[in-house]
Amino acid sequence: MKTEARHAVCSGSFDPVTYGHLDIISRTAELYDHVWVAVFLNNSKKTMFTAEERVELLEETTADLPNVHVATFQGLVVDFCKQRQIGVIVRGVRAVSDFDYELQMAQMNYGLAGVETVFMPTNPLYSFLSSSLVKDAAKWGGDISAHVPDTVATRLIERFSTE
């Protein structure tokens, strides 16, 4: 019996990608045949890195995961899923507050397009980690090496040194 390839998506702004993001992406890559990392484009949100830079950083940091693909999207994640026949959105959940928000989104996504959401608890090492905290720490010269890959840390340091 032939089975269809299983596809999942991990979506977000990834500004910048952290070890927390990479943990969820790599764990998802172990469970699904193809994982799409969908970088959200939102013109009303000011990001530190351009969409192209975020894609580049994600491609670099997931290069060891052959079943991971990176793309940008604008609009609804369920539309991204429909275009690529993806039936599952995987979301990392750090705390109850994340779950409250993510559950509402999951129910909306299912209602809009029948796309399921799988909640993956974050690794406790990264339960406090967010891109915003990393940027704040980097801005003030904090050591972010435990929170982001070297290539991301270098880019953050460069970005803040030119401000």
pLDDT digits (tens, 9 = 90+) for 106-129: 999 999 999 999 999 999 999 999
- How far apart CA 9 and CA 34 sit, in angstroms, is 8
Q: Note whether residue 38 is domain-resident.
A: yes
| Structural domain count, the chain | 1
pLDDT at 161: 85
- How far apart CA 124 and CA 20 sit, in angstroms, is 9
Binding residues for substrate: 13, 45, 77, 91
Tokens standing for 139? 């801005």
Q: Residue 99: give its domain's CATH number.
A: 3.40.50.620
Residue pair 147/19 in contact (Cβ under 8 Å)? The answer is yes
Which domain covers residue 122, as residue numbers?
A: 7-127
Q: Note whether residue 17 is domain-resident.
A: yes
Q: Is a pLDDT exceeding 80 seen at residue 1?
A: no
Does residue 44 carry a catalytic annotation?
A: no
pLDDT digits (tens, 9 = 90+) for 21-58: 999 999 999 999 999 999 999 877 889 999 999 999 99
pTM to 2 decimal places: 0.94
- How far apart CA 88 and CA 119 sit, in angstroms, is 10
Binding residues for ATP: 13-14, 21, 92-94, 102, 126-132
- How far apart CA 35 and CA 6 sit, in angstroms, is 9
Q: Where are the beta strands (DSSP E) in 74-115?
A: 88-93
Q: Note whether residue 134 is domain-resident.
A: no
Does residue 54 carry a catalytic annotation?
A: no
